[in-house]
Amino acid sequence: YLSFLTVPVSRPTNWLRQCRASANISITALEVLPGGGWDNLRNMDMGRVMNLSYFECQTTEDGLYLIPDEVFVIPHKETGVETNSEIISSWLEQKSSTSNSINADVSFLKMLNGKFSVENQRMKTHQVKDSSTTARVQVRNLIYTVKAYPDFTLDTRFAQQAKAIADAIENNQTRNADYLSEKMVLDYGTHVITSVDARATLVEETTSFYHQSTGRVNFFDKLKFDISSQSTQQSSSLQKYQSNIQYSLTQSNGGTPFYPGITLQKWQESTRNNLVAIDRSGFPLHYFINTNTIPDLPHQAIDRYYKVNTRPGCVDINSKNFNFQANIDDSSCEGPATNLSFGGVYQECVQMSSDAGPLCDALAQKNLETGEFSCRSPYISTLLRSEVRQQGYTSYDCYDQRYRCGFLGLSHCHRQVCQDNYHVRTARINTYWCSVNGTAPDNSGYLFGGIYSPSLLNPLTNAKSCPQNFIPVKFLSDGQMICVSKDYETGTRFSVPFGGLFSCQSGNPISGSQHLSDGCEILYCVQSGLFTGGQLLPIHLPPFNKPPLVSMQATNTVMVMTEGDTSWVRVGETKAWKLGHEHENKPSHAEEIVLALGERESEEEGKRDRCIVFKQGNSLFGLFQKQTTDKRVHPAGIQYSPKT
């Protein structure tokens, strides 16, 4: 059928309420469960991948909790609590107190795992701003390990998203398949949790100038815990430690919320009915999808998510080249800062459809230095990014329609029909920047004043603007602007030493801060330390590719697509495209089908069937809709039928 509306998925009961009703006593469902999506960059729970059902009314071995059909529980019957303390001298060495096992996964860039979590960013900020180290003391109480069966049933919503990607691939809608894969990563994360430890922990994290392990004593002093050694020397060390504390946080994960004066015994007694996930393990999201149906796309989407959020730089806080935003060491801590000459940027536009003129007028950009699409000697052109840009627009068109009329319909009449038609113009934008190998003449290039876009601030101005005496120049195809100036006298104090541009398509020819343009990361190099003030930059979330403007849904509809003299036709419930015959100096096969179906349907009395035809560049697309008596009206005014 042809659907213009998104209908909510029917969700059958999971039988949890019935299981509770059949139990003789009130029983709680275990909330700490595997089978959920997990963002391994942010250490964040995401959408559910495993189906939750309670048809078997399973319980844990001790009978305290109901558990779903797709999981089994390993109880830990040993008594006691685990305590440990550690000194963390660098945020790079930090290990999550709630997701250490899954952060150890090496399927992608392991050094990025957990680096955008609240826990890691808090530690990094305090260590850098206060030039201090962190002491962490934990009390852990393990009760259950909950695991998912290897062949668990997928959640309906997750399965539908996977099917949508498969349909896009089958219909050769590559761009839409990429977009849907990245949307899946946004909704379900990078991994799927297959095992969780259900327990409770009490954690104190302290940032201090004092590097001795007195934090353990300080923590248990807060808990009124008998540490059995209150010597004068230890009391003195404790006072010294407390006087050097810059930041302290005590968290209770599970159990009674922490409050000053709580005893360890009272907290431990409260953990049984207040369990949380304290450690997780699992596998990448694409492991749970049939690779024969969706080859590599989710894996590529996750890999792109990691790469887009890779911020290379010096991570040694003691180096003069330290970069606060960096999360991966690029061996720049020892290198000298280099100021390279910058010869400007320009953008060429290649029309991919005959109507792409307005798009090229808006996006083409000549080099201000030459007034042409070129670089001035001794600078050379370096391709930074080549991308296809689309723009939708409507036009009001009229055409002559022929129909049967007169006695017994033996005559043919004509009438003028006018309608709004939707079009998509397409162009390829090639962005170049002008670089130089070696030394350029003094004052021959531009000063660099940063980059901004409709969604990103310029780090130099903290606004969507250029510094004083700098000119904004169109850069890439998504509204970004690069700031340049040749005013060496007054503009130098607002500029930064420039080290080149590079992207996912082009390396830096001379060897940053990061921007995105339709799924491709764009980075520029500047002297370390210049853009590292303020707060840590937030993570870039998918989708990074823009959805296609024309999306042909996989429906039971006759669909025709033409490109030049070649046409493809899809009929009925099949999702395969059949190649039509080529016609020279004749209407295309698709146009003949449009005319034939249009006339035939108009002969049927009482039926208001319609043909939806739209154009993308030089290509014609048609959707033929045959309505039944069960008609409905879309909020936008489009009449449609669920059976088409």
Please identify which residue in the block is written with the tokens 């709580």.
262
Please determine, for residue 621, whether its predicted confidence score (pLDDT) is greater than 60: no
The percentage of residues in the chain with a pLDDT greater than 70, rounded to a whole number, is 71
Q: Is the pLDDT of residue 142 over 90?
A: no
Q: Note the pLDDT of residue 253.
A: 85
Question: 608 or 146: which carries more pLDDT confidence?
Answer: 146
Read off the pLDDT band of 512 (50, 70, 90). very low
Contact call for residues 457 and 466 (beta carbons, < 8 A) = no
Note whether 101 and 159 are within 8 A (CB): no
* pLDDT surpassing 70 at residue 585: no
Lowest mean pLDDT among 20-24, 84-88, 179-183, 415-419: 20-24
Continuous H helices in 532-608: 589-602
pLDDT of 9 higher than 50: no
Residue 493's identity, in one-letter code, is R
CA distance 86 to 310: 28
Residue 427 vs residues 16, 198, 348: alpha-carbon distances, Å: 54, 54, 10
Contact 324, 128 (CB under 8 A): yes
Distance (Å) of CA 72 to CA 49, 122, 155, 298, 394: 17, 35, 18, 28, 57
Give which of 606, 615, 251, 191 is closest to 423, Cα–Cα: 615
Pairwise pLDDT comparison (347 vs 251), residue with the higher score: 347
The dihedrals phi and psi of 238, each to the nearest 5 degrees, come to -65, -40
Quick one: pLDDT at residue 549? Answer: 77
Q: In this predicted structure, what is the pLDDT of residue 438?
A: 67
587 falls in which pLDDT band (50, 70, 90)? Answer: very low
Residue environment code for 187-223, b if the CB has 16+ CB neighbours within 10 A, otherwise e = ebbbbbbbbbbbbbbbbbbbbbebeeebbbbbbbebb
Burial class (CB in 10 A: 0-12, 13-18, 19+), 114: buried
pLDDT tens digit sequence for 206-249: 887 655 555 555 555 555 544 444 444 456 555 655 566 667 78
User: Per-residue confidence at 10, pLDDT binned at 50, 70, 90?
Assistant: very low
Quick one: pLDDT at residue 19? 87
Give the tokens for residue 336: 């000298």
Q: In the predicted model, what is the mean pLDDT of the chain?
A: 78
- Asked whether the beta carbons of 271 and 79 are under 8 A apart, the reply is no
Q: Which residue pairs, CB below 8 angstroms and at least 24 apart, start in 313-316? A: 313/512, 313/528, 314/528, 315/92
455-511 pLDDT, tens digit each: 888 888 889 999 999 999 999 888 899 999 988 888 888 888 787 887 777 665 544
Tell me the average pLDDT across 414-442.
Answer: 86
Only one residue has tokens 């009925």, namely 572
10 Å Cβ neighbour count for 643?
11
Q: Is the pTM of this model over 0.85?
A: no
Q: What angle, 0 to 180 degrees and rounded to 10, lies between the N-to-C axes of helices 174-188 and 156-170? A: 160
- Average pLDDT estimate for 160-182: 92
Radius of gyration in angstroms for the set of CA atoms belonging to the chain, rounded to a whole number: 32
Pairing of strands 36-39, 28-29: unpaired
Model confidence pLDDT, tens digit, residues 83-108: 888 888 899 999 999 999 999 999 99
- Closest by CA position to 14, among listed 46, 49, 53: 53
566 versus 619: the higher-pLDDT residue is 619
543 preceded by a cis bond (ω within 30 of 0): yes
Non-local CB neighbours of 426 within 8 Å, separated by 6+ positions: 352, 353, 356, 359, 388, 389, 390, 391, 616, 617
Sketch the domain layout of the chain as residue ranges. Answer: 25-288, 325-397+425-526, 555-644
pLDDT band of residue 594 (cuts 50, 70, 90) is very low
Residue 516, both tokens: 């995105």
Q: What is the pLDDT of residues 216-226, one digit of tens each?
A: 555 555 555 44
Whole-angstrom Cα distance, residue 264 to residue 236? Answer: 24
* Residue 214 Rama label (left phi>0; alpha psi -120 to 50; beta): alpha
Using alpha carbons, select from 487, 451, 486, 454 the residue that is nearest to residue 466. 451
Residue 143 pLDDT greater than 60, yes or no = yes
